[in-house]
């Protein structure tokens, strides 16, 4: 039988070992642009991109829809810098899938999976193994901040396991 990981709803404490859960709730904010906008200030304070003279790059990912159960075929990490994904929709009814494992040699027995609402982002710490970004149920666009610069900042490992939703109690529990 193939390995199955159960995706749990994400919380800041459950994700803390892998990075930061980003949200517009409980962060400094202020009115700007003559009152036509609210600025949520310094959401990416922990982004780490300076290794080997790297800089922060801004990208957009346009993701097609996937569903649970999801077949994981690759995990990746960025050894030279952290990586932020934030949905551009800001719609909590949309969702996406996150799977992570500690830095170092990838151990698929230590993979944790989370379902993240579309109004929250994640900041993967430098070296954390993670699933490439996966939109659930419908297409979803993401803003990404990550390291651009010299050196090899992408490692990929071919894997073979499944992620199910937490409601599927026939699957073994996640180590999270």
For residue 170, tell me if it sits in a domain.
Answer: no
Q: Which two tokens stand for residue 150?
A: 């010299």
139 part of a folded domain: yes
Dihedral sign computed on CA atoms, order 161, 108, 23, 49? negative
Phi and psi torsions of 14, nearest 5°:
-70, -25
Task: Give the CATH number, domain containing residue 30.
Answer: 2.60.120.480
Residue 15 pLDDT: 96
Joined tokens for residue 141 = 């666009």
State how beta strands 65-66 and 91-101 pair: unpaired
Token pair listed for 124:
């993967």
Question: Tens of pLDDT along 130-171?
Answer: 999 999 999 999 999 999 999 999 999 999 999 999 864 333
End-to-end Cα separation, the chain, in angstroms: 21
pLDDT of 113 above 50: yes
pLDDT in tens, 41-93: 888 778 899 899 999 999 999 999 999 999 999 999 999 999 999 999 989 99
75 located within any domain:
yes
Are 137 and 61 spatial neighbours (Cβ–Cβ below 8 Å)? no
Cα–Cα distance between 99 and 8 in angstroms, integer? 10
Model confidence, pTM: 0.87
- Determine, yes or no, domain membership for 111: yes
Print the domain residue range for 61.
4-165
Identify whether 175 is part of a domain: no
Domain count, the chain: 1
């Amino acid at each position: 039988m193939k390995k199955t990981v159960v995706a749990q709803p994400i919380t800041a404490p459950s994700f803390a070992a892998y990075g930061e859960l980003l949200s517009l709730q409980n962060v400094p904010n202020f009115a700007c642009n003559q009152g036509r906008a609210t600025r949520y200030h310094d959401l990416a304070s922990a982004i780490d991109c300076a290794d080997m003279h790297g800089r922060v790059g801004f990208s957009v990912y346009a993701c097609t829809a996937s569903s649970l159960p999801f077949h994981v075929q690759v995990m990746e990490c960025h050894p030279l810098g952290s990586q932020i994904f934030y949905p551009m929709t800001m719609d909590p009814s949309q969702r996406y899938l996150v799977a992570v494992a500690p830095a170092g040699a990838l151990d698929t027995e230590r993979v944790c999976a989370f379902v993240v609402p579309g109004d929250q982002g994640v900041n993967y710490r430098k070296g954390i193994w993670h699933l490439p970004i996966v939109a659930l149920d419908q297409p979803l666009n993401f803003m990404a901040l990550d390291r651009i610069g010299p050196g090899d900042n992408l490692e990929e490992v071919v894997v073979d396991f499944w992620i199910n939703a937490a409601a599927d109690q026939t699957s073994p529990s996640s180590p999270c």
